[in-house]
Amino acid sequence: MKPAGLEMGPRAIEHCIERVSRLYEQGADLIRIGAYLKCWHSWATSGLSLDGEQFVDRAMEAIAQRLAELATPHWPLPPT
């Protein structure tokens, strides 16, 4: 919690990266990975102010960048 409202913790972003990495390693297709990211995005933005939603958008960019470093996936990710 911040004075301006709720904000996502960095560990939540790491958990998302770990989960997407695991899905990719298990052979999940982009539809499954996109569905997970869409659910995660909905969860992450619920209850956040506009500033918090912008934080989530930056987090999604960081997740995509981090995953691109881990493997050679079939990017770009489906839109959320």
> So what's the pLDDT on residue 4?
60
> So what's the pLDDT on residue 76?
57
Q: Where do the structural domains in the chain lie, given as residue ranges?
A: 10-70
Q: How many CA atoms lie within 13 A of 24 on its CB side?
A: 18
> So what's the pLDDT on residue 59?
77
Residue 24 pLDDT grade (very low, low, confident, very high; cuts 50, 70, 90): confident
Identify the residue whose tokens are 């770009």: 76
What is the mean predicted confidence (pLDDT) over 54-75?
70
Q: How far apart are CA 19 and CA 42, in angstroms?
A: 16
Lowest model confidence (mean pLDDT) among 20-24, 32-36, 69-73? 69-73
pLDDT at 40 over 70: yes
> So what's the pLDDT on residue 3?
61
Going by C-alpha positions, the residue among 52, 45, 38 that lies closest to residue 1 is: 52
